[in-house]
Structure 1
Amino acid sequence: MSWRLPVAALISALAASLFVADGAGAQQPVSPGRLLQQQMATTYEESCSGCHGTDLAGGRGPSLFNPQLLAARTDADLFQKIKKGVDGAEMPAFDEVLEDQVIWQLIAWMRIRSDVSVAKPVFVADPANVEIASEKQKFRIHIVASVLDTPWGLAFLPDRRLLVTERPGRLRIIDSTGRLQPTPVAGTPKVWERQDGGLLDVAVHPDYRRNGWIYLGYSELQPGYTVPANPPPVPPGAQPPNHPSMTVIVRGKLDRRNRWVAQQEIFRAPSSLYTTSGSHYGTRFGFGADGKLYFTLGERGEIANAQSLATPLGKIHRVNDDGSVPADNPLVGRADAVPTIWSWGHRNPQGLAWDKRTGLLWEAEHGPQGGDEINIVEPGKNYGWGVITAGLQPGITLREAPGMEQPIAAYTPRISPSGIHFYTGDRYPGWKNSLFVTGLAGQQLRRLEIDGRRITHQEIVFQQFGRTRTVTTGPDGLLYVLLQNPTGAGTPYGLSEASPGLVVRLEPLP
């Protein structure tokens, strides 16, 4: 990419920031992501700060870090104003100064920067009986279970028992009376818990009353791999070294003593694809109206995987309930493609939900720095990761490309969307047919109003109870939500560390 800015000033600023001092005073290279942020900061300083200032106070023009101003304008609106200027105002055109790619990246950077200036809601560790008046529904929070360790997935059995996965490797049962069983399910697979990995999603077969199948997704250590007996000591605050791992999907049954039995393998990648990356496992399930199992796999932090049809990573897959390949999958018969692939070009997809009114499959996935996405996923389509993004990613400068789908919605600053769910019941009249999106970084439950393929309105239902992992409707017609104590800067936990969690129920009020 060529820069039309005063190049000397840019190079000088970048050269001075290629290294930073670590805690011991040694010089360490700056990450590509941080370097890109610094590039955008320099771009803003050279081209924008003279009129718009460097903080919320602004200058002759309004502050470009004002969240209200940014929320009121789409990226496309901002792009046109920067590129073409504003007639009758002091805003000049920058199409001869900044390339299109730089303008798009600058917009993403401004949105990320604006988030720093916003006071975050104070975390409420005990949400019991908190009453909330959202736009169309008032409700009270009821705690169902409160002694969970990093809860990740949940699914109801027909007898009203609730299954909850804990990322360290335990499958828990909350009985029909709402009591968490003290002993985890015995006999579940051994998981490899590190960073994003562990015991992940759980799903119940639509015909469970007849066949009893339950599906689990988890990360495992590469078979035959031996963890070194005497690993070197880990410096304070650092992660221990990772080892090759991969997502595995199985199904099994619960016997009368709540033991995991009759396990069958649904998906396992070739051993050659196991990677030491601890990120982006994806692994969300959903059964379609066609009776097929759909599941997501992240690209494991290796961008090229998302565009390669030869690997299952960075894809959404469709299989028969026994793991076999449906004959009508879009890539069946192609020698260069994994036949279970339904769509590709995904980064870290953690949400799947069907709109029963249209039959459309909706998906949520994490972007890089910003650029989180809500997509409508259709067979044989490419959703662009690795080539295009609405966020900031070193090496990716495009917003769109031929043959690649645009998201229905994108979020910058990030919300790190996880589980999503269409509510179709009657217990919350104002919420019927809304799409609920959970957010890890935003600590939020977000409600989206949907009209066909469009999002017509959004609201944040709450954003103060910690990392919000997933949501579903129970047999009582009420919404159940998984929460986890916040992690990362300003908390007692590292960003990817385990932390205590809850299952809560949203009880409607008049």
Structure 2
Amino acid sequence: MMKPVHVVRRSLAALAAGSFLVAGCSGASAPSPEAVEASADGLSVEILHEGLNHPWAIAFLPDGSALISERPGALRHFPAGDHGPDFSGRGELVPGLPDDLRARNQGGLLDLALHPEFADNRWLYFTYAASVDGGLTTRLARGRLEDGALSDVETLFTAEPGVRGGRHFGSRIVFDDDTHVFISVGDRGDRHQAQDPSNHIGTIIRLHDDGSVPADNPFVDDADRRDEIWAYGVRNSQGMVMDPETDTLWENQHGPQGGDEVNIIEPGNNYGWPVITYGEEYGGGQIGEGITEKEGMVSPLHHWTPSIAPSGMAIIRDPAFADRDGDLLAGGLAHRTLRRLTFEDRELVDEVEVLPDLDRRVRDVRVHDGAIWVLTDHNPGELLRLTPAD
């Protein structure tokens, strides 16, 4: 592990007290990049943008530009600069988002992912909270991103049924090497539905890139279970990442009061919510039988009690971080944290608080082009870039 660098130019706490934008002033321009501090994990931190409205996801385009989704329903494009995306401006709004997008409570415009062959086909995939019969649901769509706008937008998947209320939508999008697309769907606050694979609530979904169902999905042709389901029994997965070297699908999910989980998602598995959990009812009291293991259900590889409320998740496979190769990164909302996790043979051997003085809700984490990129879930929300301090 890199040794911590102790030289601090300006702390995040000082910036929070003095130089951040006033809440609600999301139309202001971003500051120029500025070195902020050396973190507890030997990383230099820069604030690249301070004017985002509850950002949810970032995607980097092959031409050096970037997209950021904002939960209230905006998709912003930041042009290519001399050394990657230029975040000095507000970003241009991308038109063409679906009319049925609804920004309510935890719902709105959510994750972004490029098709693995985006440079040729221009397909941008995104999830959002959609208005349907029965209430709201998680929907996966794609559109062609050309000339700063979305066209040919089509719905690929709609989680059924729609549920009233505005929480636990998931949802992350992940591709594997065979262009299968995985989507996480939350339990929508109706916990017992997560044990009923005749619907999509509390599941991990696997599709072909055109939205059709792969013939080798575990429940294909099972009349009692949905063909699209890859795994089930999850509560609310807001972090998911595919390890490109091992094809391992990692996932984190919110527990109730305690019991946040890290899992490896494998086909056909039941991850137990709400039958097994390390959490308890809000305000106290056991959930169900108060058990953490049961035959036929998969217990987590790691859990956080008390909760950190995990969200964005990334895996480090970048030569700039060679001494951290294969480690996981997980952002935390309630605990306002960024954690680095080291697993060996599915056992947690180390956990590091990367930014102990952050005091920001971390929504998304990505590793790209020699840097760790972090979006904070506020209005105004920030984009941070972390690089090795040496």
Query: TM-score w.r.t. structure 1 length?
Result: 0.66
The aligned amino acid for 1:197 is: G
- 2:361 is equivalent to residue 505 of structure 1: no
The aligned amino acid for 1:175 is: P
* 1:159-170 map, 5 Å: 159-170=63-74
Aligned to 1:197: 107
The aligned amino acid for 1:195 is: N
The aligned amino acid for 1:211 is: N
Question: For 2:375 and 2:194, how far apart are their aligned partners in 1?
Answer: 28
- 2:150 is equivalent to residue 260 of structure 1: yes
- 2:218 is equivalent to residue 308 of structure 1: no
Question: For 1:456 and 1:473, how far apart are their aligned partners in 2?
Answer: 21
Instruction: From 279, 293, 305, give the equivalent of 2:167.
Output: 279
Instruction: Measure how far apart 1:275 and its partner are.
Output: 1.4
Q: Which has the higher contact order (CA 8 A, sep 6+)?
A: 2
Instruction: Measure how far apart 1:165 and its partner are.
Output: 0.4
Aligned to 1:91: none
- Report if aligned partners of 1:366, 1:417 keep a CA contact under 8 Å in 2: yes
Instruction: From 453, 470, 478, give the equivalent of 2:364.
Output: 470
Instruction: Looking at secondary structure, tell me which structure has more strand per residue.
Output: 2
Question: For 1:274 and 1:187, how far apart are their aligned partners in 2?
Answer: 23
Question: For 1:132 and 1:442, how far apart are their aligned partners in 2?
Answer: 20
Deviating more after overlay: 374-383 vs 458-467: 458-467
Counterpart secondary structure, 1:349: coil
Aligned to 2:49: 145
Question: For 2:323 and 2:304, how far apart are their aligned partners in 1?
Answer: 24
- Report if aligned partners of 1:468, 1:481 keep a CA contact under 8 Å in 2: yes
Instruction: Looking at secondary structure, tell me which structure has more helix per residue.
Output: 1
The aligned amino acid for 1:456 is: V
Q: Mind listing any 5+ residue stretches in structure 1 that lack a counterpart?
A: 1-120, 224-242, 486-498
Aligned length: 352
Question: For 1:139 and 1:247, how far apart are their aligned partners in 2?
Answer: 36
- The CA deviation string for residues 116-170 of structure 1, in whole angstroms up to 9 with x for no partner, is xxxxx968526952222434xx222222222110000111111121111000000
Instruction: From 481, 485, 489, give the equivalent of 2:374.
Output: 481
Aligned to 1:366: 254
Aligned to 1:345: 233
Instruction: From 265, 275, 278, give the equivalent of 1:387.
Output: 275
The aligned amino acid for 2:166 is: G
- 2:78 is equivalent to residue 174 of structure 1: yes
Question: For 1:447 and 1:182, how far apart are their aligned partners in 2?
Answer: 30
Identity of aligned residues (%): 38
Instruction: Measure how far apart 1:440 and its partner are.
Output: 0.6
Instruction: From 184, 192, 212, give the equivalent of 2:93.
Output: 184
Change (3 A) 1:123 1:304: farther
Question: For 1:124 and 1:400, how far apart are their aligned partners in 2?
Answer: 45
- 2:127 is equivalent to residue 217 of structure 1: yes
Instruction: Measure how far apart 1:194 and its partner are.
Output: 1.2
- Report if aligned partners of 2:370, 2:387 keep a CA contact under 8 Å in 1: no
Question: For 1:379 and 1:214, how far apart are their aligned partners in 2?
Answer: 26
Aligned to 1:295: 183
Structure with the greater alpha carbon radius of gyration: 1
Question: For 1:161 and 1:133, how far apart are their aligned partners in 2?
Answer: 27
Counterpart secondary structure, 1:142: strand
* 1:399-410 map, 5 Å: 399-410=292-303
Instruction: Measure how far apart 1:189 and its partner are.
Output: 1.7
Question: For 1:309 and 1:466, how far apart are their aligned partners in 2?
Answer: 36
- The CA deviation string for residues 242-267 of structure 1, in whole angstroms up to 9 with x for no partner, is x82111110001222x1111111111
Instruction: From 138, 144, 147, give the equivalent of 1:247.
Output: 138
Instruction: Measure how far apart 1:356 and its partner are.
Output: 3.3
Question: For 2:76 and 2:350, how far apart are their aligned partners in 1?
Answer: 36
- The CA deviation string for residues 275-308 of structure 1, in whole angstroms up to 9 with x for no partner, is 1121100011110122200010001000111100
- Report if aligned partners of 2:39, 2:355 keep a CA contact under 8 Å in 1: no
- Report if aligned partners of 1:358, 1:452 keep a CA contact under 8 Å in 2: no
Question: For 2:270 and 2:73, how far apart are their aligned partners in 1?
Answer: 33
* 1:395-474 map, 5 Å: 395-396=287-288, 397-463=290-356, 464-474=358-368
The aligned amino acid for 2:135 is: P
Instruction: Measure how far apart 1:181 and its partner are.
Output: 5.0
Counterpart secondary structure, 2:97: coil
RMSD: 1.8
- The CA deviation string for residues 450-492 of structure 1, in whole angstroms up to 9 with x for no partner, is 2232221110101424100111122x2211111134xxxxxxx
- Report if aligned partners of 1:175, 1:181 keep a CA contact under 8 Å in 2: no
Question: For 1:133 and 1:220, how far apart are their aligned partners in 2?
Answer: 39
Aligned to 2:215: 327
- Report if aligned partners of 1:435, 1:449 keep a CA contact under 8 Å in 2: yes
Question: For 1:249 and 1:471, how far apart are their aligned partners in 2?
Answer: 20
Counterpart secondary structure, 1:251: strand
- Report if aligned partners of 2:234, 2:271 keep a CA contact under 8 Å in 1: yes
- Report if aligned partners of 2:159, 2:201 keep a CA contact under 8 Å in 1: no
Change (3 A) 1:433 1:123: farther
- Report if aligned partners of 1:469, 1:484 keep a CA contact under 8 Å in 2: yes
Deviating more after overlay: 275-284 vs 373-382: 275-284
Q: Mind listing any 5+ residue stretches in structure 2 that lack a counterpart?
A: 1-11, 21-33
- Report if aligned partners of 1:123, 1:466 keep a CA contact under 8 Å in 2: no
Question: For 1:340 and 1:357, how far apart are their aligned partners in 2?
Answer: 25
Instruction: Measure how far apart 1:508 and its partner are.
Output: 2.1
Question: For 2:320 and 2:91, how far apart are their aligned partners in 1?
Answer: 31
The aligned amino acid for 1:129 is: A
Counterpart secondary structure, 1:304: helix
Instruction: From 62, 73, 76, give the equivalent of 1:158.
Output: 62
